[in-house]
Amino acid sequence: MTHRIDRQVIVLPLLLGLGDIAQVNLLETRKTLLKIRNTHERRDDTDEWYQSILLGLKKLDKVVFEQKSLRIWWTDLPDDSCGFAWLCDYLKDIGNQISSVHVPLTLSHSRFLYELNNLGELVTDDLNKYHLFDYEQSLGRDARISHSYLWRDLRKDNTPLRIMINGHLMSQPINFYDRFLLSHVSPTVFTNILQVIGQTIGDGPSGVPDWWYRHRIDYLISKRALWYEEPVRQSAGYIKLRIK
C-alpha cells in the first residue's frame, strides 16, 4: 500500500535534549540555548527561530480547536524523545484522534542500512521506501498521560542533559558527553578542533550537535583541562590534553 501525507506539517524544533527546561516560560530558556549555539555557528537567527515556534504552536492550537487528527513523528534522538514527552503533556487532555510514528534510527532497504541523523533527512519517497507507516500506533489519552508524567519528572530534575539509554529517557550531568570528546584528544599532539569534533560526532552518541561539543571545548580550555594553540589562518585552533 502506498501512503502519502495529506495534511499540514508542523515543525517545533525546541531542542529539549539540552539546557534548562524547568522555567515556566520554556521558550525563554530555549532562547538562551540558541544564543550559545549562535556564538559558535556565527548565526543570529534567535528571533526568527522564536517566531517560527510561535507560529508552529498557533497552527497546532488551531488543529486542536478544529478537532482534526494529529500524527506525531519522533525518534529516539534526545531532542525528539523529549519533544514527544513535552507534546504528550501539551496534548494530554484533548479529544482529537492522535497517532504516533516512532521512526527507528536505522532504516533498511534492499539489503542496505541507512543511519538516520534527524527527521529532517527524510523525504516523501522515504515514507514508502522504508515502510514508515508500519510504525504508526494510536496514542490514546492514557498513553499521553504516561508520557506527560515523564516530561514532568524531567522538568523537576532539570539536569542539563537528557539522553536515551537502552530505550529510556534519562537526565545526565552537563559533562556527560565530555568523555566521548576527550577520547579523541591526544595528550602529546595538538589536534585541530574541527577534526576532534568530527570524529566525536562520527563515533559518539547520535543527536549531539557540533556546536555543543565546541561549547564544551571552550569550557574545558577555560578550566585548564585542555591546552589550546592559536589557529593558523582561518583554522579553528588546536587542542591537546593537559596531564595532571
> pTM for the whole thing?
0.92
Q: Do 50 and 81 have their domain in common?
A: yes
Residue 51: Cβ within 10 Å count: 11
> Is the pLDDT at 6 greater than 70, yes or no?
no
Least confident of 18-22, 141-145, 233-237: 233-237
In whole angstroms, how far apart are CA 170 and each of 83, 151, 236, 243?
Answer: 14, 10, 33, 32
Average pLDDT over residues 2-16: 80
> Of 165, 189, 206, which one is at a domain's C-terminal end?
165
Read off the pLDDT band of 3 (50, 70, 90).
Answer: low
- 134 within domain boundaries: yes
In angstroms, the CA 94 to CA 60 distance is 12
Q: What's 208's domain CATH number? A: 1.10.10
β-bridge pairing 238-241 and 161-165: unpaired
- 6 within domain boundaries: no
Please give the grid coordinates belonging to residue 218.
571552550
Q: Do 208 and 111 have their domain in common?
A: no
- 10 within domain boundaries: no
> Is the pLDDT at 4 greater than 60, yes or no?
no
pLDDT in tens, 129-172: 999 999 999 999 999 999 999 999 999 999 999 999 888 999 99
- 2 within domain boundaries: no
**Total number of domains in the chain:** 2
Q: Do 71 and 32 have their domain in common?
A: yes
What pLDDT score does 42 carry? 78
Q: Do 134 and 113 have their domain in common?
A: yes
pLDDT averaged over every residue in the chain: 93
Q: Do 109 and 189 have their domain in common?
A: no
Average pLDDT over residues 119-131: 93
- 8 within domain boundaries: no
- 20 within domain boundaries: no
Q: Do 36 and 106 have their domain in common?
A: yes
pLDDT in tens, 28-43: 999 999 989 988 887 7
Q: Do 194 and 99 have their domain in common?
A: no
Alpha helices (H) in 42-177, listed in sequence order: 46-65, 78-90, 124-129, 141-157
Torsion of CA 219, 223, 228, 234, to 10 degrees: 20
> Of 165, 193, 222, which one is at a domain's C-terminal end?
165
pLDDT in tens, 181-210: 999 999 999 999 999 999 999 999 999 999
Q: Do 132 and 50 have their domain in common?
A: yes
Read off the pLDDT band of 243 (50, 70, 90).
Answer: confident
> Of 112, 141, 165, which one is at a domain's C-terminal end?
165
User: Which of 177 and 35 is assigned the larger pLDDT?
Assistant: 177
What pLDDT score does 198 carry? 96
Range of the domain at 187: 178-241
